[in-house]
Amino acid sequence: MLIYEVLPYLYVLVGASSAALVEESLGKLCGLMLIAAALKIFQLRLKYRSDRLAQYERIDRINKHRAVIVNYDLPHAVTQFIDK
């Protein structure tokens, strides 16, 4: 799991050093492509994680709503209203 999280940072590091240190234009191009790939990975991970978070929040809201419906005690609520 650690390597999964670290790889895009490694791509940026290698890409930046390649673009800065290599004199060949092909080396610079490869470095820029590595940086672009890392940025795309960051974007995809952010989208996936925000989608998953929204999905969990929807499920949580649904479960809370179901708990209210299941635990609703109508006769008790009516007697409380009448007693007041």
Quick: pLDDT tens for 47-61.
998 888 888 788 777
Q: What is the pTM of this model?
A: 0.63
Cβ atoms 10, 35 nearer than 8 A? no
The arithmetic mean of pLDDT across residues 51-73, rounded, is 69
Confidence check: pLDDT of 79 > 60: no
pLDDT at 83: 47
Work out the pLDDT band at 27, boundaries 50, 70, 90.
very high
Q: Which residues contact 11 (CB under 8 A, 6 or more apart)?
A: 34, 35, 37, 38, 41
Q: Which residues contact 45 (CB under 8 A, 6 or more apart)?
A: 8
Backbone angles phi, psi at 71, to 5 degrees: -90, 5
Q: How many CA atoms lie within 13 A of 47 on its CB side?
A: 6
The arithmetic mean of pLDDT across residues 37-55, rounded, is 91
Confidence check: pLDDT of 84 > 80: no
Cβ atoms 7, 34 nearer than 8 A? no
